Amino acid sequence: MNKFNTIPPELAPIGHPQNESRMILRPTALAVALICLGSFACVDLDTIGDFGSSVSGEVQGKSFVYGSGTAESDAAGNYFITLSDSSNYNCFSSPSGAYLSIVIAGIQQPGTFSAASAVTFNNLEGNVNHSDSAVSGTVTIEAIDDADRSIQGSISATGLDSDVQGSFSVAICD
């Protein structure tokens, strides 16, 4: 058989040289599609606002690496931002067991604020919350995005046994 007398690809038997590239491409395309769909299906929608968060350091003498966080507001329009080392902290539930958190309180608008008046370091163990306030540092709120329902900012704060720094982006709870 020469190049002018070929079998149409859809009629070529399995294993025929004309069909080899199709045999490789179809499973490869299927695998890529399944991986992509699987990735999107596994996205935790509660953590969408957490992209770009990188707060770390020590909270009450224990290592703190940001896991998740939220922002809630009171009737007066004050936001209370919670940054937790647990990935299970979200708008609907708190983690079970021990976890560390940083609470930034009383935020109403973007700006730079004293950590001493706004930040509390918390260590929740056995249903008992041990907390202490920051003694120095700053919190910068870069944006409160009502359309996107998120707050972006950064923190550099120090307490008696606490020292954290980094940036965050958290979802505003409804």
Q: What does the pLDDT average to over 58-82?
A: 94
pLDDT, tens digit, 9 for 90 and up, residues 26-58 = 544 444 444 434 443 333 444 444 456 899 999
DSSP string for 2-49: -TTSPPPGGGSPTT-GGGHHHHHHHHHHHHHHHHHHHHHHT--GGGGG
Residue 98 has pLDDT above 70, yes or no: yes
Instruction: Indicate the average pLDDT of the chain.
Output: 80
Centre a 10 Å sphere on the Cβ of residue 61 and count the other Cβ atoms it contains.
11
pLDDT, tens digit, 9 for 90 and up, residues 131-169 = 999 999 999 999 999 889 999 999 999 999 999 999 999
